[in-house]
Structure 1
Amino acid sequence: MRLIFAGTPEIAVPTLAALEDAGHEIVAVLTQPDARGRRGRTLHPSPVKEYALERGLDVWTPEKASAPEIVARVKELEVDAAAVVAYGQILRPALLEAVRLAWVNLHFSVLPTWRGAAPVQRAIMAGDEVTGASTFVIEKGLDTGPVIGTLTERIRMTDTAGDLLERLAQLGAPLMVQSLEALDAGVARPTPQSTDDISYAEKLTREDAYVRWDLAAHLVDRRIRGCSPAPGAWTTLPDGSVAKLGPVSPRPQRAGTVPGQLREEAGEVLVGTGTEPVALGWIAPAGKKPMDAAAWWRGARLGEGAQLGEA
């Protein structure tokens, strides 16, 4: 098949690689324009762009993928279909109609559950036990198109959003290959999504990543894992400065304490929650690299009863 691929982050690369390995011709790769790093000084290409250039593929980085000139270029290529994984732009009808078959998206949930920008993160934060991936034909609505194929994957108790996304990216790559080949062969039967159990996964904000220590320990655990590695869970230290946090471990066998209150016990740094305490994994005070919580505690010399977050 002659294909266009559209994707941007690292989780999109396995699908691009799988399509190439399956012998399909990638005639163009669409990805987001180079973006500035955290310090805002240097422009950096997306992981998809880096991979595509290494493979000698034709890379496009339009500000607006649905601009008339891009639509015209797509039509000139006479491609069979387009594969999309976390591209990051809304694709308008004129662009969708510029390929022979369809634009097919790999979405990391079992649709219609968790439509939207952060399906894996929201699934972890909600305490879902199972998630998965779906391929669907892109249409005007937000992740509403008919589904071609699905797979399921259990969410592990220690999964961060990064862990689960990496796993689903690998599992979803062959699903995309199979879906496009079935569509081309005329044997795919895209099925309209159910109108039941629809949920939406809004993009995570900095506020979503703020740890509320008054919540139950299992909710604190889910929030931190769902926000790791991005946007990054955070709290405030006793001096009011901000610190990023890595995943924590609930300690139901330990005595509870005031939410947000710190103490050292058996070599672990414990923080009180609305139920049992949790043990900190790593912590990164503002301007510093992540460090083991026990090492941070020894250096900070805060003393028992110091408070994280709002008192």
Structure 2
Amino acid sequence: MRIVFMGTPEFAVPTLRSLIHGGWRIEAVVTQPDRPRGRGQRVSFSPIKQAAIEAGLKVLQPEKVSDESFIELLRELKPDAIVVVAFGQLIPPAILELPRYGCINVHASLLPRYRGASPIHQAIIDGCSVTGVTTMLLDEGWDTGDILLQKQVTIEPEDTAGSLEMKLAEEGAQLLCETLTRLARGDLKPTPQDDSQATYAYRLKKTAGEISWQANARQIADLVRGVNPWPGAYTYHRDQVLKVWEAAPADQEEHGAEPGAVLDIAEDGIIVACGAGSVLLKVVQPPNRPRMGGRDYANGYRVEPGEILGGASSDA
């Protein structure tokens, strides 16, 4: 089976490596063009380009996959399947119809739940205990194509978006190889999605990490996990951004305090009142400082019970 692989970020790397180690015939790897990144705006490779170069694979980097010159190049490669994992561009119909087995996508949710750009983050933010990965046939919509295979994955209480992404990337890689094997054998029948069950996980903005103290303690703790490492949860203390990296519901359920009020400084962090219950801020980060324990922050900045977190209007 002749394969063209399309992907860009770290999430896609385990799938590419599984194809390489599995002996699949990879005709080319397509990834986004090199772009300036970071504070220094240094031009750097995508993780997929780096992995492809290390494996000695041909790399293509079109500005737009809809350009006719690129589509003609794909035609010349005569792929039997095009594997797409977090590529970053919508695949046009002219490419979708090229391969014999279709364009096969790995999506980090149990479709039709969490269609869209941020399924990993949203599953944690919503307090789910189970998510998964799906292989599907791409069509002209966003994550609307027929399902090939699915695998459930447990979301552990300590999982962050970062740790869950790593688990789903590995599971997705295995599922993709199984999908290709079964397609080649001819014993895998695509199943249409039930659109009535669809939910959506839209691309997160930086402000998605701002903590609303009106929420309950569980919701706040899930938000902190769901936006770690990006965009990161934050609140305000004395009009300065205070990032929150670890939090958990605290024992003080009934407090009568204003949401956002500091209730106590505990051994393992700062206890803050919520709309329902209270939350323990275990690891925080003030501006231009490293991460630190909540109690260390409280001691260093002389945080007192009764102080109010949140309320600033400036962006994080």
Is TM (by shorter chain) over 0.5?
A: yes
Count of aligned pairs? 310
**Cα offsets for 1:171-224 (capped at 9, x unmatched):** 111110111222222222011111331111101112221110121001111111
Q: Which moved more, 1:60-69 or 1:171-180?
A: 60-69
Q: Do the aligned partners of 1:71 and 1:98 also contact (CA within 8 Å) in 2? A: no
Structure 1 portions without partners, runs of 5+: none
Alpha carbons of 1:36 and 1:281: their partners in 2 closer, same or farther (altered >3 Å)?
farther
Distance 1:265 1:237 in 2: 18
Which amino acid counterpart does residue 241 of structure 2 have in structure 1?
A: V
1:113 aligned partner, one-letter code:
R
Distance in 2, Cα, partners of 1:41 & 1:134 = 35
- Distance in 2 of aligned mates of 1:91 and 1:182: 24
Asked if 1:266 is matched to 2:267, the reply is yes
Tell me which moved more, 87-96 or 272-281: 272-281
In 2, Cα distance between the equivalents of 1:288 and 1:65? Answer: 42
Structure 1 position 267, deviation (Å): 4.3
Aligned counterpart, 1:281? 282
Q: Output one character per residue of 1:37-85: Cα deviation in whole Å (capped at 9) or x when no partner.
A: 3315212211111111111111122221221111111111111111111
What is the DSSP-based 3-state SS (H/G/I as helix, E as strand, rest coil) of the residue aligned with 1:178? helix
Partner SS, residue 224 of structure 2: helix
Question: Which residue number in structure 1 is paired with residue 243 of structure 2?
Answer: 244
Once residues 220 and 193 of structure 1 are traced to their aligned partners in structure 2, the CA distance between those partners, rounded to angstroms, is 32
Given the alignment of the two structures, is residue 161 of structure 1 paired with residue 161 of structure 2, yes or no?
A: yes
Query: Where does residue 107 of structure 1 map in the other structure?
Result: 107
Query: Which shows bigger deviation, 255-264 or 213-222?
Result: 255-264
Moved more, 23-32 or 265-274: 265-274
Aligned-partner Cα distance in 2 for 1:61–1:158 = 37
Q: Corresponding residue for 1:229?
A: 229
Q: Deviations over 1:65-106 (max 9, x none)?
A: 221111111111111111111111111001112223211000
Unaligned runs of 5+ in 2: none
Residue 176 in structure 1 maps to residue 176 in structure 2: yes
Q: CA deviation at 1:5?
A: 0.9
Matched, 1:298 2:293: no
Displacement of 1:161: 1.1
Residues 269 and 283 in structure 2, CA contact (< 8 A), matched pair in contact too: no
Residues 227 and 233, structure 2, Cα contact 8 Å, conserved in 1: yes
Residue 90 (structure 2) pairs with residue 90 (structure 1): yes
TM-score under structure 2 length normalisation: 0.93
What is the aligned partner in structure 2 of residue 73 from structure 1? 73
Q: Equivalents in 1 of 2:153, 2:12: separation in Å?
A: 18
Matching residue's letter, 2:302: R
How far off is 1:34 after superposition?
Answer: 2.3
Summarize deviations over 1:138-194 as a string: whole Å, max 9, x none.
000111111110011122222111111111111111110111222222222011111
Cα distance change on mapping 1:83 and 1:275 into 2, 3 Å: same
Report runs of 4+ in structure 1 exceeding 6 Å deviation: none
Q: CA deviation at 1:286?
A: 2.3
Gap change, CA 1:300 and 1:38, over 3 Å in 2: farther
Identical pairs, percent:
38
CA contact (8 A) 2:125 2:225 kept: yes
Written as runs of structure 1 = structure 2, the 5 A alignment for 1:97-136 is 97-136=97-136
State the one-letter code of the partner of 1:25.
Answer: R
